[in-house]
Amino acid sequence: MAVLLEHESQIFLDLFHQDGLVICARGLGIDRLLLRFLRLYCEPASLVLVLNTSPAEEEYFIDQLSSDGVVHLPRRVTNEITNNTRYEFYTQGGVIFATSRILVVDFLTDRIPANLITGILVYKAHRIIESCQEAFILRLYRQKNKQGFIKAFTDNAIAFNTGFCHVERVMRNLFVRKLYLWPRFHIAVNSFLEKHKPEVVEIHVSMTPAMRAIQTSVLDILNACLRELKRYNPALEVEDLSLENAIGKPFDKTIRHYLDPLWHQLGAKTKSLVQDLKILRTLLLYLTQYDCVTFLNLLESLKASEKAFGENSGWLFLDASTSMFVNARARVYRIADEKLNQKGKVSEKSDVKKENELKRELVLESNPKWEALREVLKEIENENKNSEDLGGPGQVLICASDDRACAQLREYIIAGAEAFLTRLYNKTLGKDEKAEEVWIKDRKAVKSKGNARPDTGPQAKKAKLAAFSKQNKHKKQQDRTIIQMIGKTEEEKGEQLEVEDNKELSSSQESIIEETIPEDFHVNLPSDCYYGIFKNPLTVIHPLQGCSDPYALTRVLHEVEPRYVVLYDAELTFVRQLEIYKASRPGKPLRVYFLIYGGSTEEQRYLTALRKEKEAFEKLIREKASMVIPEEREGRDETNLDLVRDAKPASVSTDTRKAGGQEQKSAQQTVIVDMREFRSELPSLIHRRGIDIEPVTLEVGDYILTPDICVERKSISDLIGSLNNGRLYTQCTSMSRYYKRPILLIEFDPNKSFSLIPRGSLHQEISSNDVTSKLTLLTLHFPKLRILWCPSPHATAELFEELKQNHPQPDAETAMAVTADSEILPESDKYNPGPQDFLLKMPGINAKNCRALMNHIKSIAELVTLSKDELSKILGNAANATQLFDFIHLTYGEAISKGKSKR
């Protein structure tokens, strides 16, 4: 395992000696810190639980520890481990990763030896809010174990910026007293990283005039939409919704935070404005990240869809929008008979294609960053030629934002800008033109570039290098060296291993991905997201986001050990990661090329992210200075009130009429909860109110409050889904059959409106497909069913407590025995469910007279023998008796003639 850096050892020792919450700056290696703790506790003598990790993260930690030679690796608790062997599994000790749902149930059923737990490590601690499962686990743990430690880690300082005293609330839920803050500007971090600075080359690429004009247009439209949004909703006049924030990534979350509670009250105009803001932000992203053809394609598709639906808030008709379309088209093509003054708008590009047979002359403006990248790669290549004193050529890692950008860069480097953009144009916008013209143009493009399909083998390398290096002299020289190098590798296979995969990057583009593994590598690259370019020196492109494995880039960085890193897109976390990477390998050179569009939204986005994190840390430092932390916060004795399970307020007066006010001993309340319900926060809140929870697998209902009361809980989305697919009907049938008081609980999200239907969608005509219509039908079908409406889980927990008062406790065995087709019925209902359902479907029989009829007759066969008079006596209504008698005894012919005579 890599040796901890100076500041990391300091954090480790602080946290080791006293439990607390560590908040680190993004990219400063919070995972390295957690790994160090895992390494410490990977032994049978201790039992340490790790909360809040995803499967991919668990895999990464286990891989790192196994490569470090740890014998007792962390284990995972999954559903595959049966309940009866679970206790043994825990008692074997070591570090255990478990999902919160499994741990909650195990703590409640004492399947986990709580008193033997050494401690709990909480990852991504900013997510621990009061009602979440992890907070419930920590509370159960502290109630049963006062000695063990709780150590929490997070690198998301910005998350603590929202809400009132957020960090204090999180610490309260974690039962920790200490807060350790480690921003990037911390003196220890700053001075240490300054000593080991990588060589950074910042390249401010200037955008082309057309790109700059498009950016200005989009920002104007974005600003207009924001102003319009605030005009319709004065409540949104907040500093969070500024233009600067609108171009950042978290803006969607911010706007949802403000609009969710009143979404049902918003008009169509506001909703379409929110949608437009999303589209405009995508346009800004596409402008700097991808090429001119992809950008124009997105724009044209927007125009087409807006035309088709006509649902546009009006931004397409602004002047700025027209200017944006003109400039976007000018980057890709110009109409042949355009006037000279309009030609001036087009970027001066030397190799503009002139084709008389097409109405459009293709301009295909290359991305300025591509040229910069090409220059950087040429510089690296020249340096690698005379790099004997550094121990041979250095590996190169190019990082772009996502998969699509990586694929585009790869094709650009291999095929050149013109061939790539022509292919892209033909695939998208060129489809509208005549097929043969496209074909002629394609042939010309191929000829002009000499870009025949590269085969595997030496020719492939030739073609790639020919495209890559512009100068003929270098080209010939490199062809020769590459071919010699490949000859060598084929002879001496023991020394070098080659892996060649054919990967299809998109439907029409097949590329060969190569990857070289030097002598000391025994495995392929540990990530499947990379795009290889050259075999020697190894040059790979890797996306910064969008990989299934969050640590893919970290793994690649440590495996490839590049000497040169080219940041095609800037991302704060990875920039910091590179600083740590350089500091952990002192003496080894690392040069970072930082490509960024000067004066662009991309640059602004990066600077805003930096500023936001800095401000978040400054706020946390101020909060820490004024924070009042009670002595008993850690809950190691009985004085912590958060561990008291009683929801009665202190102001409740005692009733002195009952034996002079002395406390009455009440029986311990219990609720039986279905296992699947532990995904929600309700069980945690019920437990908090002093009610015991018995987790079992229930087939009928979600919560059993008393032997008679059965509750089926539905969130709004769940309710609509189960009403549509008919599942709710069968659930209500089962509940009504086996319990005297079936209840349907409709639970709303506390952050959203407490209304089932938006105010705007109440129509004159009531449709049978409406949720309300279906609920009405449900209540008509099940007269016994009661519906509870709860604005939040807190309200539900309180309601459950009131419903249970002065009622006997339910029995888990009985509740589990009730299945949808079981014959065990409550004592009062000694009737067969099948014939009972059949009886209720007969004319003249309803829920009121059904019971009287069943008390008089033993079977359907006996019912057939009864006369009309006997039936009217039992049913107490002659009309009902006639209906039933006719239904049983009337033949088809008689029924037809009776119908005719009625007419």
Average pLDDT over every residue of 424-442: 64
Query: Measured between alpha carbons, how far is 452 from 602 in angstroms, rounded to an integer?
Result: 36
Q: How far is CA 647 from CA 142, 739, 797, in A?
A: 18, 28, 10
| Cβ 545 vs Cβ 265: under 8 Å | no
Q: Is the pLDDT of residue 797 over 90?
A: yes
Is the model more confident about 601 or about 497? 601
| Residue 846: per-residue pLDDT | 80
| Residue 595: per-residue pLDDT | 94
Q: Is the pLDDT of residue 712 over 90?
A: yes
Q: Report the share of the chain in percent with pLDDT over 90.
A: 34
Reported for 726-732, long-range contacts at CB under 8 A and 24+ positions apart, including other chains, are 728/778, 729/778, 729/781, 730/820, 731/700, 731/701, 732/778, 732/781, 732/782, 732/785
| Residue 357: per-residue pLDDT | 41
Give the Cβ contact number of residue 127 at 10 Å. Answer: 16
**pTM: predicted TM-score of the whole model, two decimal places:** 0.78
Average pLDDT over every residue of 325-354: 60
Summarize pLDDT for 734-748 with one digit per residue, the tens. Answer: 898 889 899 999 998
| Residue 500: per-residue pLDDT | 29
Average pLDDT over every residue of 263-270: 76
Q: Is the pLDDT of residue 845 over 90?
A: no
Q: HSE (CB half, 13 Å, CA atoms) of 861? A: 1
| Residue 188: per-residue pLDDT | 92
Summarize pLDDT for 276-303 with one digit per residue, the tens. Answer: 888 899 999 999 989 999 999 998 888 7
Residue 119 token pair: 């401690």
| Residue 2: per-residue pLDDT | 67
Is the model more confident about 648 or about 317? 317
Q: Is the pLDDT of residue 571 over 70?
A: yes
φ, ψ (nearest 5 deg) of residue 704: -110, 110
Query: Measured between alpha carbons, how far is 809 from 24 in angstroms, rounded to an integer?
Result: 48
Q: HSE (CB half, 13 Å, CA atoms) of 23? A: 25
| Residue 313: per-residue pLDDT | 61
Assign 437 a pLDDT band (cuts: 50, 70, 90). Answer: low
Q: Is the pLDDT of residue 71 over 80?
A: yes
Q: Report the share of the chain in percent with pLDDT over 70.
A: 79
Q: Is the pLDDT of residue 507 over 70?
A: no
Assign 498 a pLDDT band (cuts: 50, 70, 90). Answer: very low
Burial class (CB in 10 A: 0-12, 13-18, 19+), 583: buried
Q: Is the pLDDT of residue 508 over 60?
A: no
| CA torsion, ordered 39, 43, 47, 49, to nearest 10 deg | 30
Assign 311 a pLDDT band (cuts: 50, 70, 90). Answer: low
Q: Among 144-153, 175-184, 256-265, whose mean pLDDT is lowest?
A: 256-265
Q: Is the pLDDT of residue 862 over 50?
A: yes
Q: Among 45-54, 346-355, 863-872, whose mean pLDDT is lowest?
A: 346-355
Rounded mean pLDDT of the chain? 79
Reported as type and span, the H/E element at residue 466 is helix 458-468
| Residue 652: per-residue pLDDT | 53
| Cβ 669 vs Cβ 809: under 8 Å | yes
Query: Measured between alpha carbons, how far is 646 from 633 in angstroms, rounded to an integer?
Result: 18
| Residue 342: per-residue pLDDT | 43
| Residue 127: per-residue pLDDT | 87
Q: Is the pLDDT of residue 482 over 50?
A: no
| Residue 659: per-residue pLDDT | 56
CA-wise closest residue to 552 among 52, 38, 63: 63
| Cβ 748 vs Cβ 790: under 8 Å | yes
Average pLDDT over every residue of 628-644: 81
Q: Is the pLDDT of residue 19 over 90?
A: yes
Query: Measured between alpha carbons, how far is 145 from 377 in angstroms, rounded to an integer?
Result: 59
| Residue 436: per-residue pLDDT | 44
Q: How far is CA 111 from CA 83, 87, 102, 139, in A?
A: 8, 5, 10, 16
Q: Is the pLDDT of residue 478 over 70?
A: no
Residue 179 token pair: 């807060």
State how beta strands 20-24 and 47-51 pair: unpaired
State how beta strands 509-517 and 497-506 pair: antiparallel
Q: Is the pLDDT of residue 356 over 80?
A: no
Is the model more confident about 469 or about 574? 574
